[in-house]
Structures are given as structure tokens and as C-alpha cells.
Amino acid sequence: MKGLILKDIYCISYQVVLVIILGIIMVISDTYYTKAIAMSMAAILPYTALAYDEQTKWDRYAEMMPYRKSSIVLSKYILILATVAFLMILGAIVAAAAFDGEAAQTRILSLLFCGCCTIMISSIAIPFTFKLGTGTALWIYVPIIIVMAGGGSALMNHSYGYIMAHRGMLMTVMVAVTAVALAVSIKAAIRYYDPARG
């Protein structure tokens, strides 16, 4: 799988750098707008990697290599998980260094919320991308990103007090739901990534 991830990083290196830059801006500025942008760009990384694979018909070659179908699928998920983890760690370090107590905690929770949303977007969209191809899957990615990014911002605006009062419980639920969605998504994507076997 290392080779597959390396191949994807070579293909989308510019996008990865852009996501890191946006992540740093997101942490420093701490606005919902920058969070939504960074989240959307990170969520679309697996899609971009799959688009490159489609463009070069890499799958035709990969199916001759000693890779299991599950490895090919998982490499896309590892891409998004690694990106989210990196941004969250970076953000947590910056938040802990730059802010005290409540402010730092709020920012870290906010990062965790964004990370979960990013993973949720990918979890919903990646299986469709394997099934339908990147051209059609874009019609799924865009609405999901709008709903998650826009909805998340609207939720924070309207229910900020409630969310902050119950942040521990809400974040636990959010992380659990994200983990379940991820597991289901991986299973579905592995199933869908076998179209030629008939």
C-alpha cells in the first residue's frame, strides 16, 4: 500500500501543499469560512487522486500488480485520514501554544468537528466515486460539501451556546458516527471497486 499512497502523493502534491496552507490559515484565523474552505479542499483529495487514476487508466496496470482490491481502496482513505490527522495535530499545537484554557479548548473542539465533517464528506462520496467514476461523482461531492460546510457553519451560528454547553457529549457522538460512517464507506467502496469482475 505504501507504493499506492506514494503514487497518489506524487500526483496530488500541489493539492496537498494547498490544503496544508489552508489548514494553517484556518487555525490562525479561526473563522467558519476558512474552516469550510480547508475542509472542502481536504475532502476532495481522494477524489482528485481517483481522477488522476482514471485519466491515466492506472487501474488497468494496478490490477496486474500484487495489490489486493482492498489495498487500492484503503490507500484513498488513508490519504484523507492522514491529511485530517495532520491538520488537527498542527491546529492543536498552534491552539495550545497561542491560546489559554477555554479559548484553546474551543479551537481544538472546533478542529475536531471540522475533521469529522471532512471524513464524513469523503465517507459518503468515495464509494460513489468508485462505483460511478469521477465525472458523475462530482455531482455527489459538491452538494455534500455545500450541505456539510454550510450546515456546519449555520449550526455553529445558531446553536453555539447549546453546543458549547454539551460539547463533550456532542463531540463523542460525532466521532462515533464518523467512525461508523467510515467503516461502512470502506466496505462499500471495496465492494464497488470490482466492476470488471462481473
Using CB under 8 A as the criterion, which residues of the chain lie in contact with another protein when the complex forms?
1-4, 6-7, 10-11, 13, 52-53, 55-61, 63-68, 196-198
CB of 166 to another protein, least distance (A): 45
CA angle in degrees (0–180, nearest 5) for 139-72-46? 35
Between the CA of residue 132 and those of 80, 135, 139, 140, what are the distances in Å? Answer: 20, 8, 11, 10
Cβ at position 154, least distance to another protein in Å: 39
Cα–Cα distance, 81 to 41 (Å, whole number): 13
Closer Cβ to another protein, 54 or 164, answer by number: 54
Task: Output the smallest distance, CB 194 to another protein, in A.
Answer: 9
Q: How far apart are CA 109 and CA 30, in angstroms?
A: 12
Nearer to another protein by C-beta: 60 or 158?
A: 60
Question: 161 or 197, CB closer to another protein?
Answer: 197
Helix (H) or strand (E) holding 45, with range, is helix 45-56
User: 29 near 98, Cβ under 8 Å?
Assistant: no
Closer to another protein by Cβ: residue 12 or 36:
12
Q: How far is the CB of 82 from another protein (least distance, A)?
A: 16
Reading the block at residue 183, the C-alpha cell is 467503516
